[in-house]
Structure 1
Amino acid sequence: MLNSKKVAFSVALALLVAAPAVLKAQTDEDGIMMDKKNLCIGATYMHGSWDHYWEGTFKRNNQNLGTVSTQSVMVMGTYGITRKLNFIAGAPYVWTHATAGTLHGQHGVQDLSAWLKWDALDLNVGKGVLSIYFLGGGSLPLTNYIADFLPLSIGLQSKTLSGRLLVDYQAGNFFATASGTYTGRSNIIIDRNSYYTTSLHLTDKVDMPDMASYNVRAGYRSNWLIAEAVFTQAFTVGGFDIRKNDMPFPSNKMNSTMAGIDFKYTLPKKWNALSIVGGGMYTLAGRNVGQSTSWDLGAFYVLDFSHKRSKAHTSASEKK
Structure 2
Amino acid sequence: MTKFRAAVLQMRSGVEPEENAEAFSALVAAAVKDGAQYVQSPEMTGMVQRDRPALFERLRPEADDVIAATAARLAVRHGIHVHVGSTAILLGDGKVANRALLFAPDGTRLASYDKIHMFDVDLDNGESWRESRTYRPGGAAALADLAFDGGTARLGFAICYDMRFPHLFREEAMAGAEVLTAPAAFTRQTGEAHWHVLLRARAIENGAYVIAAAQGGRHDDGRETYGHSLIVDPWGRVVAEVDGNEPGYAVADIDTAEVAAARGKIPNLKNARPFLMGEGGKRVAVTGALAEAAE
TM-score of Structure 1 vs Structure 2, range by shorter chain: 0.3 to 0.5
Structure with greater helix percent: 2
Structure with greater strand percent: 1
Report which of the two structures shows the higher radius of gyration computed on alpha carbons.
1
